Structure 1
Amino acid sequence: MARVIRKTALAALCITAACAGLVACDDDDEGFLEGLDDSPSLSKPALGGLSGTKKIRVEGRSVNVSCSGSPVDGKPVVVVLAGLDDGLKKTAAFRKTLSEKDRVCSYDRLGEGASEAPAGPQTVAASGKILTGVLDQVAGDTPVVLAGHSLGGLLAARYAPDHQDRVKGLVLMDATSPTSNGDIKKVIPESATGDSADLRAQTAAAGEGLNREKLVFPDAEVRSAGDIPVEVIQHGTKYLGQFPVYGDGLEKVWSEGQRKWTALSGRSKLSTAADSGHYIYVDRTELAVKAVRSVAAQAAE
Structure 2
Amino acid sequence: MTARFLSSTKRRRTAIAVGVAAALTGVLAGCGHSGTGASHPAAASHSAGSAQAGATGAGSTLRMVGNQGHRLAFHVTAGHQPAIVLDAGGGLDSSYWKTIVPVLAKKTGSEIITYDRAGMGASDAVPGPWKVRSAVSDLEAGLTDLGATHDVILVAHSEAGEIATYATRQHPGQFAGAVLVDASVPQFSTDAEVARVAAATQAQVDALKGKPVTKADRQLLAVAADYVADQHAYHRTAWPVSVPATVIVSEQTPFPTSPPDAQAWRAAQAAFAKEASNRRLVTAAHSSHDIPVDRPDIVEAQIEAMVTATR
| TM-score, scaled to structure 2 | 0.70
Deviation of residue 18 (structure 1)?
Answer: 2.4
Q: Distance in 1 between matches of 2:163 and 2:91?
A: 14
Deviation of residue 67 (structure 1)?
Answer: 0.8
> Which residue does the alignment assign to 2:154?
146
> Which residue does the alignment assign to 2:24?
22
> Which residue does the alignment assign to 2:5?
none
8 A Cα contact 2:17 2:28, kept in partner:
no
Distance 1:145 1:228, change over 3 A: same
**Sequence identity (%):** 22
Q: Aligned match of 1:212 in 219, 238, 247?
A: 219
Q: Aligned match of 1:240 in 236, 251, 255?
A: 255
Q: Aligned to 2:124, what secondary structure does the other structure show?
A: coil
Q: Distance in 2 between matches of 1:170 and 1:157?
A: 10
Distance 1:202 1:223, change over 3 A: farther
8 A Cα contact 1:229 1:299, kept in partner:
no
Q: How many residues align?
A: 255
> Which residue does the alignment assign to 1:276?
287
Between stretches 165-174 and 18-27, larger displacement belongs to 18-27
Q: Aligned to 1:56, what secondary structure does the other structure show?
A: strand
Q: Distance in 2 between matches of 1:121 and 1:23?
A: 17
Counterpart of 2:67, as a letter, is V
> Which residue does the alignment assign to 2:133?
125
State yes or no: 1:299 paired with 2:310: yes
State yes or no: 1:61 paired with 2:70: yes
Q: Distance in 2 between matches of 1:167 and 1:122?
A: 24
Residues 59-95 of structure 1, C-alpha deviation per residue, up to 9 Å, x if partnerless? 32110110103124xxx21101100110111221122
8 A Cα contact 1:233 1:273, kept in partner:
yes
Counterpart of 1:62, as a letter, is R
> Which residue does the alignment assign to 2:100?
94
Distance 1:25 1:69, change over 3 A: farther
Counterpart of 1:83, as a letter, is G
Q: Any stretches of 5+ residues in structure 2 without a counterpart?
A: 1-10, 31-48, 53-58, 209-216
Counterpart of 2:129, as a letter, is P
> Which residue does the alignment assign to 1:288?
299
> Which residue does the alignment assign to 2:85?
79
Distance 1:15 1:263, change over 3 A: farther
Aligned ranges 1:216-235 → 2 under 5 Å: 216=226, 217-219=230-232, 220-235=235-250
Q: Aligned match of 2:181 in 156, 159, 173?
A: 173
Q: Distance in 2 between matches of 1:187 and 1:257?
A: 16
Deviation of residue 110 (structure 1)?
Answer: 0.7
Deviation of residue 144 (structure 1)?
Answer: 0.7
> Which residue does the alignment assign to 1:159?
167
Between stretches 13-22 and 274-283, larger displacement belongs to 13-22
8 A Cα contact 2:86 2:114, kept in partner:
yes
Q: Distance in 2 between matches of 1:160 and 1:218?
A: 18
Q: Aligned to 1:218, what secondary structure does the other structure show?
A: helix
Q: Aligned match of 2:268 in 246, 257, 260?
A: 257
Q: Aligned to 2:99, what secondary structure does the other structure show?
A: helix
| TM-score, scaled to structure 1 | 0.72
| RMSD between superposed Cα atoms in Å | 3.5
Distance 1:277 1:241, change over 3 A: closer
Counterpart of 1:130, as a letter, is D
Deviation of residue 263 (structure 1)?
Answer: 6.1
8 A Cα contact 1:66 1:106, kept in partner:
yes
Counterpart of 1:253, as a letter, is A
Distance 1:280 1:99, change over 3 A: same
Residues 90-130 of structure 1, C-alpha deviation per residue, up to 9 Å, x if partnerless? 22112222121221101111111110011433421121111
Distance 1:290 1:183, change over 3 A: farther
8 A Cα contact 2:253 2:265, kept in partner:
no
Distance 1:151 1:224, change over 3 A: closer
8 A Cα contact 2:16 2:28, kept in partner:
no
